[in-house]
Amino acid sequence: MTPEQQAAFVYSQTACMLAELAAMQCANQGLGPYDMPYGTEDFRALPDKYGLGHNAVVGMFLNC
């Protein structure tokens, strides 16, 4: 992939992650702290799920 394609990929993965994040926040909204379907660990897992952890993204750009 060219650097431009890599940047576009990271951008698209970020958009997907943000959409899921918004859905998770919506599902948690208005519920009591013990009734929320998504907890802290679910939110923290999102970057890795989409390949957006620091090392993954930096590694992608170092390998161009």
pLDDT of 11 > 90? The answer is yes
Instruction: State the pLDDT at residue 31.
Output: 76
Domain containing 23: what range? 3-29+39-62
Instruction: Supply the pLDDT for residue 51.
Output: 94
50 lies in some domain: yes
Indicate whether 23 belongs to any domain.
yes
pLDDT of residue 64: 61
Crossing angle between the packed helical segments 40-49 and 3-28, to the nearest 10 degrees: 160
Instruction: Check whether 10 has a pLDDT greater than 70.
Output: yes
Residue 34 maps to a domain: no
In a domain, 9, yes or no: yes
Return the pLDDT at 5: 92
Per-residue model confidence as pLDDT tens digits over 14-56: 999 999 999 999 999 987 777 899 999 999 999 999 999 999 9
**Total tally of structural domains belonging to the chain:** 1
Q: Could you write out the DSSP letters of every residue in the chain? A: --HHHHHHHHHHHHHHHHHHHHHHHHHHTTS-TTT-S--HHHHHHHHHHTT-SHHHHHHHHHT-
Domain contains 51: yes
Question: Who contacts 24 (Cβ-Cβ below 8 Å, separation ≥6)?
Answer: 37, 38, 42, 43
Q: Do the domain assignments include residue 46?
A: yes
